Amino acid sequence: MEAISIGLFGLGTVGTGVVRIIESHQDKLMHQVGCPVVIKKILVKDVAKPRSVDLDQDLLTTNPEEILYDPEIDVVIEVMGGVAETKDLLLKALKEGKHIVTANKDLMALHGSELLTAASENGCDLFYEASVAGGIPILRGLADGLASDRITKMMGIVNGTTNYILTKMNTEGRAYLEVLKEAQELGFAEADPTADVEGLDAARKMAILATLGFSMKIDLDDVGVSGISQITEEDLRYGRQLGYTMKLIGYAHREGEKVEVSVQPTFLPDTHPLASVQNEYNAVYVYGEAVGETMFYGPGAGSLPTATAVVSDLVGIMKNLRLGVNGRSAVTPQFPKHLKDPSERFAKYFIRLHVQDEVGVFADITAVFAEFGVSFEKILQLPVKKNEVAEIVLVTHHASLTNYEHILQHLNDMQAVKQIKSSYRVEGNSL
């Protein structure tokens, strides 16, 4: 079999890793698919820019047409990012019969269905393992390893930046802004960290996971999102007192025909396996009706872990080429989308209040919760030294989102409640 020729879109952190792996693992690739793999052309913005890998300058181009319309290029690997322009380029590549590997979570979250349909219509493969959780083979696990099971729930840590920040805040008692600055200096956080710290990056990944895991087209707008920028050292300290660790959790749950998908700061029991996932590492729990619980854990980002996922997808395409089955792996969603109403979404909640330090105030607060049928699992009451204010920390039993939002509104309206300092979801004591 002749060599497989690759066109590479992008030569940043991941693109450089792809080049290194393809060059250093030729013997492994030959063993897997029976032919050499050659990078024929690389699309870059600036051909004169210094690179951390040694490359023949003739490989570099600023013109995507040199890749799109080269009949010898079999596969396009897209690791340059971007959405609208990148989507147009990949659609053109598919029309030219080129298979696609992409690490672009933004693109797949927003336009995955369109691209997968185009791939199928043109007899092409489109693989995107690296778009979620870096080097962890979670998408392949869902699509292949758990293909016969019915997935009911997925929850996990799918953003390394926020996990690094929360780990440092929790273990070292440091402030959010201080740790964020350190993360930026170390390269774990972008200069503009908004997509990470406000939960948008994780939301895109959860939309991809939920679409694949539930075989239901979940759009980014269907994911409820809140980030970590408002979390304080006090929140984490009280959580520790109650036996909890804070993580930014992506959560997707199916009950019957209805689903909910969210990304939000969540208190987990210290005994929960996800509570021990530290720093930039990712982990995803998957629950199937037949298999029960499985956990995928590993580095969620970085040059070589993400590039490993990209090259693994490339191997999958090359094996399909040998078998002549390209373009048959894409499966359109099986079920129509039905999202849960807020009244059908249940969770435990942590809430921290500053209230007037007077007799009867706690009884009044308790009455508000009782009115909506919500009881308490844990209570902390602490004096605040100034202004005759007391601090109350409550963890509720399960409550519907509708009832909990009503409770928050009632508490806001109470004269005795000075401020709702914070409120977070709490996962149960056991999985």
**Cα(139)–Cα(205) distance, integer angstroms:** 11
Tokens 């056991």 belong to residue = 430
User: Active-site residue among 205, 340, 348, 418?
Assistant: 205
Whole-number CA gyration radius for the chain: 24
Residue 260 and residue 253 in contact, taking contact as beta carbons nearer than 8 Å: yes
Which among 383, 393, 400, 385 is positioned nearest to 420, based on CA atoms?
A: 393
205 has catalytic annotation: yes
Listed in sequence order, the residues at least 6 apart from 18 whose beta carbon sits closer than 8 Å to its beta carbon are: 8, 77, 79, 307, 310, 311
Is residue 215 left, alpha or beta, with left meaning phi > 0 and alpha meaning psi from -120 to 50?
left
- The Cα-based distances of 127 to 115, 171, 264, 326, 330 in angstroms read 10, 38, 28, 11, 9
Active site members: 205
